[in-house]
Amino acid sequence: MSTTWLFCGDSVTQGAKHTGGLRDYTQLLAERVRFELNRPADVVINTAVSGARLTVPDFSRFRAGVVSIMYGLNDCLAGPDGLPAFRAGLHGLVRKAAPAQVVLHTPNPVLPTAVPARLEWLTAYVAVVREVAAAHPGVVLVDHHAGWGGRAPGRWMADDCHPNGYGHRALAGALLRALDLWDPDSPLCSLPT
Around 89, how many Cα atoms within 13 Å sit in the side-chain half-sphere? 17
The string of pLDDT tens digits covering residues 8-53 is 999 999 998 888 888 999 999 999 999 999 999 999 999 999 989 9
Within 10 angstroms of residue 92's Cβ, the number of other Cβ atoms is 14
User: What pLDDT is recorded for position 19?
Assistant: 87
User: What pLDDT is recorded for position 140?
Assistant: 98
The string of pLDDT tens digits covering residues 180-192 is 999 888 887 766 6
Rounded-to-integer distance, Cα 18 and Cα 25, Å:
12
| CB-count burial class (<10 Å; 0-12, 13-18, 19+) for 169 | buried
User: What pLDDT is recorded for position 193?
Assistant: 56
Q: How many domains does the chain have?
A: 1
| Residue 38, H or E segment | none
Q: What is the mean pLDDT of the chain?
A: 93
Rounded-to-integer distance, Cα 137 and Cα 107, Å:
21
The string of pLDDT tens digits covering residues 111-152 is 999 999 999 999 999 999 999 999 999 999 999 999 999 999
Beta bridge partners of 70: 9
Helix axes 116-135, 83-97, angle to 10 degrees: 40
CATH number of the domain residue 165 falls in: 3.40.50.1110
Q: Residue 111 is part of which domain span?
A: 4-189
Rounded-to-integer distance, Cα 193 and Cα 167, Å:
10
User: What pLDDT is recorded for position 16?
Assistant: 87
Q: Where are the alpha helices (DSSP H) in 21-161?
A: 25-30, 83-97, 116-135, 144-147
Beta strands 4-9 and 43-46 are: parallel
* pTM metric for this prediction: 0.94
Closest C-alpha among 50, 63, 135, 140 to residue 92? 135
